[in-house]
Amino acid sequence: MTTTTTTPRSFEADVAKLLHMMVHSVYSDKDVFLRELISNAADACEKLRYEGLSNASLLGDDGQPRITVTLDAEARRLTIEDNGIGMSEDELGEALGTIARSGTKAFMDRIAGAKDAEGSQLIGQFGVGFYSAFMVADQVEVTSRRAGADTAALWLSDGQGTYTIEPVDIAEAPARGTRVLLHLKEDATGYTDAFTIERTIKAQSGHVPVPIFLEDAPDAEPKQIADGAALWTKPKAEISPEDYTDFYRSVAGQFDAPALTLHYRAEGMHEYTVLAFIPETKPFDLFDPDRAGRMKLYVRRVFITDEAEILPRYLRFVRGLVDSSDLPLNVSREMIQDSPVLAAIQKSVSNRVLSELDKLAANDTERYLTLWDTFGAVLKEGLYEDYSRRDALLGLARFKTTTSNGAWRSLKDYAADLKDNQTAVYYALGPDLDRLASSPQLEGFRARGIEVLLLSDHVDSFWAAAGMDFDGKPFKSVTQGLADLSLIALPEGTEPTPAASETVNDFIAFVKTTLGDAVSDVRVSERLTESAVCLVAPENGMDRQLEKLLAGAGRLETTAKPVLEINPRHPLIEKLGAEGADPALREDAAHLLFDEARIADGELPVDPRAFSARLTRVLGRGLG
């Protein structure tokens, strides 16, 4: 015994500043103190297990490791006790008197190279996690008795810059191991609530390799809240579908069942285990503005963070975890985001999720289409966010089309049905499928049997305009620029439409003059076969649906003037172009045709009152 009196000692560091940093800066979540103290306790049990391999007497009659958390609401105290290796008085000074000296790291250095070290599951690497206890406690007592020793010691500090160590009677110490007693601050009394503590432990440390028990009051009957067996570490053959479902519901906070489960262990340059689930139903937070993911990061079964962005944001519907054997339990969860090891894990896990979806699409079409129906709109965000995986995402994408009769079609299916001389993948954008299917801009494509993708999700306006292609064919909007359909033959037996008469061409020129700056051009349409008019975007302009979205969001100050296309073979246009047509009627008709095209596009007339007056005049002429 090296100390016989209680003497204040100074920490070996600029402690006042360092502890303040630890308490107020390093950790962003106070709950982390539980994770850190339970991690230390789990390490102590692992050290005892290792040393017990060569000295079985250290285990005595108590060979089963355990961690016990005891609550005392009346005294405002929380205790975490383990039956691990414990510490001598000198070891207490070394471990807790020098901040950032990690006993675990020293232990690992000592056993490095030993053949039995391969199985040890040691967590802490930096030696600062213990001091997070001062976030919630104004005094911390650590009583410890090393395995096999007949002495015990007490470490005591208020976290203000000094600590004391003194021997204690072994009757007041654990039979073996360490007891950490926190005298909680007034604003931390919530940590004596059994429900809060149980929920926090299960979320953060429920899968450490040591069973955890909870006593909701001193001398109460212990309740086991963690069995020390992590589901994801078990062989897949030993896990039932019900086990996966129960775990999914606990980790995802949902009540449905997983539609797809992904469980594997990666070995090689980096070692980690993945247990991920795709839900059956949309999570309630799927479209939160921050679009944050919900994959948890563990290091050797210890929860680190659920904000590591393990998967890209367009895979945020995936729930589950990654447990790394290579990452350290760092001083800050925030710093882990910059780890090159995590970057490699992120890349590999993202690719694996997409690969599993591709396998499902090939092997179980019905299940895959159910998933796509639920999460396709989110997956398509990756088409403009993730260039490196764009080809894989295009392969996964499914679409409703003008020829699919409501069924989903892949781009591979689309490419197989391309018409001779078709040089593009055609698509139409709109707010809903029904309106899209009846768009006048589709008439010429239908007449030639050309399949058009019907894109009704908001995200479609962005990725479709990103200049990508599939199988060498660029994506082209049917409402943008010239239709360029003349190279694609009409079905056999269909009579080609005659050219517009000279008088109709004169009327089209008249409409252009009458509308003036309201449009950028008025021209003969190749698109229209049934309707009289439609609006399209200029050749180099933005697709009209995207333009509407951006303008509605306040991200466009001005919008481009549309092009008005006129069907020269429509009976109404032929009559308006006939010789002797009433000039006043033609002028009203020019404006009404433009407003008709706007209404078909889901817009209001340029001037509703003028539209009403013109319509009244035209109806009056008809009745007269």
In the chain, the largest separation of any two C-alpha atoms, in whole Å, equals 120
d(C-alpha 466, C-alpha 619), whole Å: 45
Residue 574 near residue 506, CB atoms below 8 Å: no
Residue 185 near residue 134, CB atoms below 8 Å: no
417 a known binding residue? Answer: no
The residues, any chain, with a CB within 8 Å of residue 231's CB and separated by 6 or more, are 207, 239, 243, 244, 247, 275
Going by C-alpha positions, the residue among 287, 292, 435 that lies closest to residue 374 is 287
55 a known binding residue? Answer: no
The residues, any chain, with a CB within 8 Å of residue 479's CB and separated by 6 or more, are 428, 429, 439, 441, 534, 535, 536, 537, 543, 544, 545
- Side chain identity at 531, as an amino acid letter? S
Residue 484: other Cβ atoms inside 10 A: 11
Residue 414 near residue 442, CB atoms below 8 Å: no
127 a known binding residue? Answer: yes
169 a known binding residue? Answer: no
128 a known binding residue? Answer: yes
d(C-alpha 445, C-alpha 527), whole Å: 7
Q: At what angle do helices 32-54 and 103-111 cross, to 10 degrees?
A: 30
126 a known binding residue? Answer: yes
Residue 161 near residue 16, CB atoms below 8 Å: yes
178 a known binding residue? Answer: yes
The residues, any chain, with a CB within 8 Å of residue 209's CB and separated by 6 or more, are 42, 45, 46, 121, 228, 229, 230, 301
36 a known binding residue? Answer: yes
d(C-alpha 118, C-alpha 111), whole Å: 10
DSSP codes of every residue in 86-110: ---HHHHHHHHHSTT--HHHHHHHH
Binding residues for ATP are: 36, 40, 82, 87, 102-103, 125-130, 178, 333
Binding residues are: 36, 40, 82, 87, 102-103, 125-130, 178, 333
